[in-house]
C-alpha cells in the first residue's frame, strides 16, 4: 500500500531543516544576549539610583556639620562677651541633636605678652595648675615654649573627659596650624586632614574644622576692629558621620568610601563603609561599575565613591539568559525532528485525503436531500451528537429562534442554550441528559422546556426528540416550537382571575367596613339607612368612573365633581374646584372618594352647605416633597366646633388617608368654617399630570383591615 511513497526526505527538505537549525540557534543566542544586556542595564540603573541616595545623605550630613560650625561662630561673633556658662548653654542642644560631633570648643588667640594674664585668669576660674601646653615628641603634654602667639583651647564641650585638652595650643601641631592659616586667610571654615583623635579607641579617623571669630566690640572711634580674636573648633569622627548618614538605608551590597583628594595618596582614605558589616579600614575593591561625587569640604576636596559588591552583582544575573538559550536550541531541534516526520507522513496523508473526499462527496449528496426537508419544516430543528453534547446541524428557524450565527450555534449544547435551572428547580443539564438517555433507549418524548437565546431572553418551547439512524454517531433530532404566546395567554388569564377575585374581596370588605362605621355613629335605623346608602352610592359612582377608564385610574377632578354633584344644584351655594390634572390609581380612588363623601355630608348637615350664603373651596396642588396637598375649605356657614366624638367620620377619613394611602390629615375647626387638609404621596409624570405614587404604598388592603 505504501510502496509508492518515498519515506526519505528530499534534498530540498534537508536544506530546509539545516536552515531551521541555523536560524533557531542564531535567534536563541541573540535573545539570550539581549536578556543578559537588559539585566545588566537594569542593575546599573538600580545601583546608580541607590548610590546617589547614599551620596546625597552623606553630603547632607557633612553640610550639617558646617552649618553647626557657622552657627557657633555667629554666636561668638554676635555676643559682646562669651563666658564658659553661655558657651555650654548654646552648645548643649547641638551636641544632643548631633551625637557624631565629638566636641565643640572656642580657641582664643593669646599673644606672648598676654600669656601670663590669661593663665592666671583661667586658674581663678577653678582650673588649678592651668598653663598653655603643647605635645612633646613622646606624646605627653608639657608647657608650651615661647612664641609670638598661641591658639589655646579655652572652652570645650562636653568638658568631662576633655579636661586635659584645656590650655592646649592647637597651633603647635603642623596640620592644625595649616587649617588655622587657611581659616584666617579666607575667613571661612577650614578642615584639617584626617587625624587620630586623642581619645580614639577604635580605628576611626577624625577631622578638626576651624571657623574664625572676629572681634565685634566697638572701639573708641565707634567702629569694630574686625580682627580675628579666636576660632570655634569642631571635632568630628568621620566614621560616625558617614555611618549615621547611611543608617537609614538597608544593607543591599553597596560599599561606600570617603576620601580626601587634597591629602597625600597614602592618607586620603577617611572612612570605608562595607556592606557586609566588616570594619576593614581599607578601601573597598574597585570595580568597573562605580558612582562617585566630589565636593568641597571646608577648603578641602573630598570625594564619595560607591561600588557594588560581588553579592549585589550576582543578584542581577538570573537563569533566564541560559534558559532561553537552552530552550531555543531544544525547540529548534524538536521542530526539525517534527518537520522530518511530517515529510514522511505527507505521502500517506495525501492518499487518505483522496479516498475520504470521494466518500464525503457521496455523503454530501445524501445530506443535501435531508437538509432540503429540514429547511422547509415549520419548526426549529437541530441535530445533536449525544456523545459530545454539541449541535452538528440546524435549520434557519433554529438560528432565528436562538438569534445566533451558524459559527456560534455549532459550539453550543442544550445546557448552553438554557438557564441553569428549569421552572421546577431541576438542573437543566442533568434533566436534559435524562431526556437524551430516554431517547437513545427508543422513546420519542415530547415535553416543555425553557430555552435561552443569545440576548439572554428565556423562550418557552415544546420539544420533540427522536433518534436518527447513523452507523458512526449517536444523533438525535430535536424539533422546537415557540409557545411564548400560549404561555403569555395562560398567565394573562390567571392574572385576570386573580385580579377579579381581589377586587371583589376588597369591595365586599369596604361595604362591611362602611356598615360597621355607619352603624356605630347612627342614632336610628333611618339615619343609618340614609347615611349608609349615601356612602354606597358615592363608592358606586367612583367604581363606575373606574370601569369607564378600564380600571386604569380616574382624575381627581372627576371624583370631586361626582361627589359634590347632588349638593351643587337647585340654588345651593357655589362650589369652587381647582387644581392641576391629577390621576388617581384604582387603589387610591376609593379612599379619596369616601373621605370627600364624609366631608360633604358634614357640610350639608352642619357646615357651609347648610346655609344659602355658604361657600365651599376644593383645591389641590403637587408639592416639592413628593406629596399632593388636597384642601377642603368651608366659609360663610355656621362656626365649626370640634366634635366631642367621631360623629363627623373623622376616624373613617383618618383611616383611609393615613393607612390606605400612608398620608396625613389636618382639621382646623375655625369660627369662619371647617378646613380639612389631606396629604398623600404622588409623583410627577412630566406630561402635565401627577399620579398617586405606588412606591412606598402598602399592599392592596381592604377597608375593613385598614380601619382595624
| C-alpha to C-alpha distance for 44 and 484, rounded to whole angstroms | 71
pLDDT of residue 463: 92
Q: Which grid cell sits at 449?
A: 422546556
Are 178 and 172 a contacting pair, CB within 8 Å?
A: no
pLDDT of residue 573: 52
CB atoms within 10 A of CB 311: 11
SS percent in the chain: helix, strand, coil, step 5 = 45, 25, 30
What confidence tens digit (pLDDT) does each residue in 587-621 have? 777 788 888 888 888 888 888 888 888 899 999 99
pLDDT of residue 694: 43
| C-alpha to C-alpha distance for 127 and 120, rounded to whole angstroms | 9
Listed residue (51, 157, 180, 35) closest to 106, CA to CA: 157
Q: Which grid cell sits at 384?
A: 445533536
Helices (H), 190-319: 238-246, 310-315
Are 227 and 221 a contacting pair, CB within 8 Å?
A: no
Sign of the torsion angle spanned by Cα atoms 175, 176, 180, 183: positive
pLDDT of residue 389: 82
Burial (CB < 10 A; 0-12, 13-18, 19+), residue 6, is exposed
| C-alpha to C-alpha distance for 105 and 107, rounded to whole angstroms | 6
Listed residue (687, 684, 580) closest to 626, CA to CA: 684
| C-alpha to C-alpha distance for 293 and 166, rounded to whole angstroms | 38
What confidence tens digit (pLDDT) does each residue in 352-403 have? 887 778 777 766 766 675 666 566 677 888 888 888 888 888 888 888 888 8
pLDDT of residue 566: 64
Are 370 and 377 a contacting pair, CB within 8 Å?
A: no
| C-alpha to C-alpha distance for 228 and 183, rounded to whole angstroms | 10
- The whole-number mean pLDDT for each consecutive block of 10 residues of the chain, a chain of 708 residues, reads 48 78 87 85 86 90 88 82 84 87 89 90 87 88 90 89 85 89 90 77 82 66 64 89 85 86 90 76 68 90 89 77 84 83 74 77 66 70 86 85 84 86 90 90 90 88 88 84 85 68 58 67 80 73 61 76 68 75 79 84 84 89 90 91 67 80 90 93 63 46 27
What confidence tens digit (pLDDT) does each residue in 101-114 have? 888 999 999 999 99
Amino acid at each position: 500500500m505504501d510502496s509508492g511513497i518515498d519515506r526519505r526526505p528530499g534534498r530540498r527538505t534537508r536544506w530546509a531543516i539545516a536552515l531551521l537549525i541555523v536560524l533557531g540557534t542564531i535567534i536563541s543566542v541573540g535573545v539570550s544576549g539581549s536578556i543578559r544586556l537588559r539585566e545588566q542595564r537594569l542593575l546599573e540603573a538600580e545601583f546608580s539610583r541607590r548610590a546617589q541616595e547614599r551620596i546625597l545623605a552623606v553630603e547632607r550630613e557633612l553640610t550639617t556639620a558646617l552649618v553647626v560650625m557657622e552657627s557657633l561662630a555667629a554666636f561668638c561673633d554676635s555676643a559682646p562677651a562669651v563666658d564658659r556658662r553661655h558657651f555650654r548653654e548654646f552648645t548643649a542642644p547641638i551636641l544632643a541633636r548631633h551625637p557624631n560631633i565629638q566636641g565643640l570648643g572656642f580657641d582664643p588667640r593669646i599673644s606672648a605678652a598676654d600669656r601670663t594674664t590669661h593663665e592666671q585668669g583661667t586658674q581663678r576660674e577653678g582650673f588649678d595648675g592651668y598653663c598653655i601646653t603643647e605635645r612633646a615628641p613622646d606624646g605627653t603634654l608639657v608647657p608650651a615654649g615661647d612664641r609670638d602667639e598661641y591658639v589655646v583651647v579655652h572652652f570645650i564641650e562636653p568638658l568631662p573627659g576633655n579636661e586635659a585638652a584645656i590650655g592646649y595650643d592647637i597651633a603647635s601641631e603642623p596640620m592644625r596650624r595649616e587649617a588655622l592659616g587657611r581659616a584666617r586667610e579666607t575667613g571661612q571654615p577650614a578642615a584639617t586632614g584626617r587625624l587620630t583623635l586623642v581619645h580614639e579607641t577604635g580605628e576611626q579617623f577624625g577631622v578638626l574644622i576651624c571657623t574664625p571669630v572676629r572681634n565685634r566690640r566697638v572701639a573708641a572711634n565707634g567702629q569694630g576692629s574686625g580682627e580675628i580674636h579666636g576660632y570655634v573648633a569642631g571635632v568630628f569622627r568621620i566614621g560616625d558621620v558617614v555611618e549615621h548618614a547611611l543608617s537609614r538605608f538597608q544593607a543591599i551590597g553597596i560599599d561606600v568610601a570617603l576620601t580626601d583628594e587634597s591629602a597625600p595618596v597614602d592618607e586620603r582614605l577617611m572612612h570605608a563603609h562595607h556592606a557586609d558589616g566588616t570594619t576593614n579600614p581599607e578601601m573597598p575593591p574597585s570595580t568597573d561599575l562605580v558612582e562617585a561625587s566630589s565636593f568641597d569640604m571646608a577648603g578641602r576636596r573630598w570625594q564619595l565613591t560607591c561600588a557594588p559588591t560581588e553579592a549585589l552583582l550576582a543578584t542581577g544575573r538570573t537563569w533566564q539568559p541560559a534558559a532561553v538559550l537552552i530552550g531555543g536550541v531544544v525547540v529548534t531541534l524538536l521542530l526539525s525532528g517534527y518537520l522530518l516526520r511530517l515529510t514522511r507522513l505527507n505521502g500517506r496523508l495525501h492518499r487518505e485525503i483522496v479516498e475520504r473526499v470521494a466518500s464525503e462527496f457521496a455523503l454530501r449528496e445524501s445530506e443535501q436531500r435531508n437538509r432540503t426537508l429540514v429547511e422547509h419544516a415549520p419548526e426549529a430543528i437541530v441535530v445533536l451528537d449525544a456523545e459530545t453534547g454539541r449541535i452538528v446541524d440546524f435549520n434557519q428557524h433554529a438560528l432565528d429562534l436562538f438569534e445566533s450565527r451558524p459559527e456560534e450555534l455549532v459550539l453550543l449544547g442544550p445546557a448552553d442554550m438554557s438557564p441553569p435551572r428549569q421552572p421546577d428547580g431541576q438542573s437543566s443539564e442533568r434533566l436534559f441528559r435524562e431526556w437524551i438517555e430516554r431517547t437513545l433507549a427508543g422513546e420519542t418524548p415530547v415535553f416543555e422546556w425553557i430555552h435561552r437565546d443569545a440576548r439572554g431572553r428565556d423562550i418557552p418551547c415544546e420539544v420533540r426528540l427522536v433518534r436518527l439512524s447513523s452507523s458512526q454517531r449517536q444523533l438525535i433530532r430535536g424539533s422546537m416550537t415557540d409557545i411564548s404566546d400560549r404561555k403569555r395567554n395562560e398567565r394573562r388569564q390567571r392574572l385576570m382571575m386573580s385580579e377579579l377575585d381581589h377586587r371583589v374581596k376588597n369591595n365586599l370588605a369596604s361595604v362591611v367596613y362602611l356598615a360597621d362605621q355607619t352603624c356605630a355613629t347612627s342614632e336610628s335605623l333611618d339615619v343609618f339607612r340614609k347615611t349608609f346608602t349615601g356612602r354606597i352610592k358615592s363608592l358606586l359612582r367612583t367604581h363606575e368612573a373606574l370601569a369607564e377608564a378600564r380600571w386604569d385610574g380616574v382624575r381627581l377632578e372627576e371624583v370631586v365633581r361626582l361627589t359634590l354633584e347632588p349638593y351643587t344644584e337647585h340654588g345651593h351655594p357655589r362650589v369652587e374646584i381647582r387644581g392641576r390634572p391629577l390621576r388617581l390609581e384604582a387603589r387610591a380612588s376609593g379612599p379619596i372618594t369616601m373621605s370627600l363623601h364624609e366631608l360633604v355630608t358634614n357640610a350639608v348637615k352642619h357646615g357651609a352647605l347648610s346655609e344659602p350664603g355658604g361657600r365651599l373651596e376644593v383645591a389641590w396642588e403637587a408639592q416639592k416633597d413628593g406629596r399632593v396637598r388636597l384642601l377642603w375649605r368651608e366659609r360663610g356657614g355656621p362656626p365649626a366646633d370640634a366634635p366631642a366624638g367621631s360623629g363627623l367620620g373623622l376616624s373613617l377619613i383618618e383611616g383611609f388617608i393615613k393607612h390606605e394611602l400612608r398620608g396625613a390629615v389636618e382639621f382646623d375647626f375655625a369660627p369662619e368654617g371647617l378646613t380639612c387638609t389631606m396629604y398623600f404621596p404622588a409623583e410627577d409624570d412630566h406630561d402635565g399630570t401627577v399620579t398617586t405614587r405606588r412606591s412606598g404604598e402598602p399592599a392592596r388592603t381592604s377597608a375593613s383591615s385598614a380601619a382595624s
